Amino acid sequence: MTEDTIERTFIAFKPDAVQRGIMGEIMHRFERAGLRVAALKMVQATDNILEEHYSEHVDKDFYEGLASFMKEGPIVAGVLEGVNAVENVRKLVGETEPRSAMPGTIRGDFTHMSYEHADEKGVAVKNVIHASGNPEEAEEEVGIWFDEDEIHDYERVDEYHIA
């Protein structure tokens, strides 16, 4: 897919999604919306890669909790492709704080905790999935987690209808 309206976005199933066994249910939502899975791999996050990935949050109070949560177990990193993929994936993912995430969104359907609760416990908000916030972030994050030869170009059989 080469049109300008076709974007790539970065997603990651956080350790809670992997350990809760809900990766398939989450991926199903992206696949049925017609987003093309261009890359996918299970990786153990390291301090270095997390500092790059969450560079905007490194100095925040919740960073330590966030980094230790993201290292609790493997994550599954992926690249999704589609029309305005960044915006569409964030729409499916929902609000950052589970408490405010609407039913029907991934975070709204699979989580419920609040910032207040997470901060009181000194842990990160466990919200099952990461998705790039804007196209610039998406390009940067795809580059942090993937080499270009790990991103695959193939046609979905239903591409005629979905994009």
Residue numbers at the binding site for ligand IDP (CB under 6 A):
57, 62, 66, 96, 115, 118-119, 124-125, 127, 130, 133
The tokens for 66 are 């966030």
**Number of residues binding to Mg ion, judged by CB under 5 A:** 1
Secondary structure, 3-state, 34-82: CCEEEEEEEECCCHHHHHHHCCCCCCCCCHHHHHHHHCCCCEEEEEEEE
Q: Which is nearer to Mg ion, 54 or 163 (CB)?
A: 54
Q: Which is nearer to ligand IDP, 38 or 118 (CB)?
A: 118
Judge whether 107 and 129 are in contact, CB under 8 Å: yes
Smallest distance from the beta carbon of 96 to ligand IDP, in angstroms? 3
Residues with catalytic roles: 130
The tokens for 86 are 């960044």
Residue 73 as a binder of Mg ion (CB under 5 A): the answer is no
Name the residue number minimizing CB distance to ligand IDP: 96
